[in-house]
Amino acid sequence: MAKNPTLVLASRNPGKIREFQTLLGPLGIGLEAFTGPPALEDGETFTENAIRKARGAALHSSRPALADDSGLEVEALGGQPGVHSHRFAGEGADDQANNQELLRRLAGIEGEKRSARFVAVLALATPDGQIWTWRGETAGRILTQPQGEMGFGYDPLFLSEDLGVSFAQADAVAKNRVSHRGRACQAFLADLPGILADLFA
């Protein structure tokens, strides 16, 4: 294995970069943000989009690359917003607009029909075409109004089945323990020692 192995992260999100640095640091793995052209995220699943981002970053940088794609699936909306979670209220929509659109579409719907889940898929790609993926899910329900000031995205509306509060009310440690991204990362880290030799031969 290389003396100072480094993965490229296909993200420009500073918070996401810090999160992965915290996860990978104890394993002695560095992380660099990908600065090349972004991949076209037009896949029909989280897995497709995560793979496209990881593969594009690996080919452009000539190094192993990590990417993720995630979103919210609501039972009453037939799984929407799904892969369109970040632009549910339209291109360029912010978190508040997306949350308002979600509440508008769920108006008059009550109880179990407001069941939802967050999904995250991590993809790791090498320049020679190897691909690994990991999936994480967490169950909950959509509230009728936002609760909590922490988190981001749909967190204020997502009542966690595991925690009994919204993700925006939970501290980072508790949220990361049960969140979709946290669970995908746990699976990724469990498998990573076994594939490090392939990555940095």
Residues with a known catalytic role: 69
Nearest to 66 by CA among 155, 137, 134: 134
**For residue 152, how many other CB atoms are within 10 A of its CB?**
11
Nearest to 99 by CA among 43, 146, 162: 146
End-to-end CA distance of the chain: 5
Question: In angstroms, rounded to a whole number, what is the distance separating the alpha carbons of residues 104 and 153?
Answer: 16
Burial of residue 162 (CB within 10 Å: 0-12, 13-18, 19+) is middle
Sheet hosting strand 6-9, strand order edge to edge: 30-33, 6-9, 65-74, 115-125, 131-142, 158-160
DSSP structural state of residue 111: G
Question: In angstroms, rounded to a whole number, what is the distance separating the alpha carbons of residues 148 and 121?
Answer: 26
